[in-house]
A and B are shown apart, each in its own frame.
Chain A
Amino acid sequence: GESVGLHLPTLSVQEGDNSIINCAYSNSASDYFIWYKQESGKGPQFIIDIRSNMDKRQGQRVTVLLNKTVKHLSLQIAATQPGDSAVYFCAESSGYSTLTFGKGTMLLVSP
């Protein structure tokens, strides 16, 4: 079936930099997208979501961009902190379908 994928398995940044994590999805019917943060040995933690009728949504230090034309989703983290180090997953769903998770990107933030 269709799945969500990520371009970069690991992203290393310096503290204070802005981070961009990318995600490509293939299901053109997907209408809801979520970014999760997962720290080692813990469950996913909701960061931010976006519906397909939007192309940008901002939260605290995070922004999600959605480009439906190329089926691309990105998560921008401003002023990255060591506490942001984790694996980030995008997930998508269509209507009331179950979530499909992408492969994940590990973000490593150096002090």
Chain B
Amino acid sequence: GAVVSQHPSRVICKSGTSVKIECRSLDFQATTMFWYRQFPKKSLMLMATSNEGSKATYEQGVEKDKFLINHASLTLSTLTVTSAHPEDSSFYICSARDRWEDSNEKLFFGSGTQLSVL
């Protein structure tokens, strides 16, 4: 089956530093990837839709300058948390849609990244 690799799985950083999270589709091409945030014992909240070759679409309330998204190739999207603060600590999850699919039927999730900001 299709695999989405997310790296790193866990990162601890100091307040004020930036952290980059990678999301790769390993055996398929993805023109669209999604970034979610999840707090403990809570559901997944969509942060933004990452579009290959164009700007990401952010959900209401998500700071685009805080959460920089780059989708430079058909197999890689990155989320950079800039000037991280303790309140940015969370579990971040990406998903990727097969480029030949328009629906959510072929949506594959990464394993998530636990970000802890000290």
Contacts and interface: CB of A to CB of B under 8 A. Distances in A.
B43 A43 contact: no
A43 B34 contact: no
Given A96-B102, A98-B34, A104 B43 contact: yes
Contacts of B54: none
Contacts of B110: 43
Interface SS of chain B: strand
Per DSSP, are chain A's interface residues mostly helix, strand or loop, or mixed?
A: strand
B interface, size bucket = 20 to 34
Interface in A67-111: 89, 91, 93, 96, 98-104, 106
Interface in A6-45: 32, 34, 36, 41-45
A42 B104 contact: no
A43 B93 contact: yes
Given A89-B44, A98-B46, A101-B43, A43 B6 contact: yes
A49 B105 contact: yes
A100 B114 CA distance: 21
A88 to B, nearest CB: 11
Contacts of A101: 43-45
A103 B34 contact: no
Given A42-B112, A96-B103, 13 more contacts: A32-B104, A41-B114, A43-B4, A43-B93, A43-B95, A44-B93, A45-B109, A89-B43, A89-B44, A99-B104, A101-B45, A103-B43, A104-B41
Interface of A: 32, 34, 36, 41-46, 49, 89, 91, 93, 96, 98-104, 106
Interface of B: 4, 6, 9, 34, 41-46, 49, 91, 93, 95, 102-105, 107-112, 114
